Amino acid sequence: MSHHASVLASAVVAVLGVAGSLRAEEPAMGRDLAATIALQGMPCDKVVSATRNGDSDYTATCKDGNRYHVFVDSTGRVVVQKL
Amino acid sequence: MRHIAIGGMSALLLLVGCVHEKPAAQRPAATPAAPQNAGSAQKAQTAPAPVPAAPTQPPPAPSEAGASRASAAGSAAATGSAGATGSAGATGSGSAKTKVPGRGESAAASAPRAAPPSTASPGTTAGGTATRPAPAPAPALDLTSLEQRLRDTRAIGVFTKLSLKNQVDDLLGEFRTFHRRQGALTVAGLRQKYDLLLLKVLSLLQDGDPPLAAAISSSREAIWAMLIDPLKFEKLARI
């Protein structure tokens, strides 16, 4: 019984750790997208949500309500399109 | 009659003797120049007064005399040692230094004089101009290292790095066009774009990777010099 309890506890800890790492990456991804949008000369003070569409393809929603499609085209250039 | 004559003679002698005694007693009291005679006890009593006065005056006299003797007899050596002690111990080094050159120790005076300028000029020249030019080449502009550090830094995200690389490539293309004398690009316009791009990089790095930001900032002019020089730019483009 105690063995099962310890296994369950470790599993919970592992899940929480993964979730924590994902949550930690989200702000970094948001900052990266915000910096990318700003580098393209478009307004975005902070990214509040980001949806991953594919590899190097995101849809970002900024705090001011603006939405952007950020992706890497076939030539390797970062493209920011206002939605 | 004889008794009267003898009495008169003795009285006269006594009077004469008294007459001689009185002036002799008054002289020593009036003039102290008579102490050498030392005739009476009064002279001996009055003499001690001037005598202690004389010894009190001589003590200062010997010191002055000694100083004068020292300065007069061995002026060079005495003043030299005095100047040395004065300069070493007291704050009167300026006066000692000013005296020393005037006294004739030209060798010793010229040596210290020559020493300060020699030490000062090498210090300034070596520390100011000789060592500063050394750091100028010191930047050495290790572009490869800077590029690698930019790739490895976690202060900038992947999208941002890729976006920056795109803008760097665009700027390099403009420099290439400028060196080929194509288009209407000017040095001032290129410099403005270069500064703007560098400002973007620095603003992205200054919080997350300050050392790399400082390294890039310190290499700003070196990178510009490399970009604006056609030969260096060609070498850079080949790399």
In tens, the pLDDT along B192-220 reads: 999 999 999 999 999 889 999 999 999 99
Domain membership of residue B18 as a residue range: 2-56
**Is residue B92 included in any domain, yes or no?**
no
Q: Which helix (H) or strand (E) holds B191?
A: helix B187-205
The mean pLDDT value of chain B amounts to 63
Any domain includes B102: no
The answer to the question of residue B117 being in a domain is no
Q: Which residues pair with A50 in a beta bridge?
A: A60
Rounded Cα gap, residues B108 and B35, in angstroms: 55
CA torsion B224-B226-B229-B233 (nearest 10°) is -120
Residue A16 has a pLDDT of: 47
Contact between residue A44 and residue A66 where contact means Cβ atoms under 8 Å apart = yes
**CB of A41 within 8 Å of any CB in chain B?**
no
Task: Report CB contact under 8 Å: A36, B156.
Answer: no
pLDDT, residue B14, reads 53
Asked if residue B27 is part of any domain, the answer here is yes
| Cross-chain Cβ contact B157/A33 below 8 Å | yes
* 3-class secondary-structure state, position B146: helix
Q: Is residue B169 part of a domain?
A: yes
Would the CB atoms of B158 and A76 count as touching at under 8 Å? no
Q: Is B47 helix (H, G, I), strand (E, B) or coil?
A: coil
Task: Give how far A14 is from chain B: nearest CA, Å.
Answer: 25
Question: Mutating which of B161, B162, B163 best tests the A interface, going by the most A Cβ atoms within 10 A?
Answer: B163
- Going by pLDDT thresholds of 50, 70 and 90, the confidence category of residue B3 is low
Residue of B nearest to A79 (CA): B163
Contact A35/B at CB under 8 A = yes
What are the pLDDT digits (tens) for A9-52? 555 544 444 444 445 556 788 888 999 999 989 999 899 999 99
Question: Which position has the higher pLDDT, B195 or B95?
Answer: B195
Residue B175 within any structural domain of the chain: yes
Evaluate the CA torsion angle B121, B123, B125, B126 in order and state its sign. positive
Take residue B228 and report the two structure tokens written for it: 């604006």
**Which of B56, B73, B89 lies at the terminal end of a domain, its last residue?**
B56
Number of domains in chain B: 2
Predicted ipTM of the assembly: 0.70
pTM attached to this predicted model = 0.50
pLDDT value at residue B160: 92
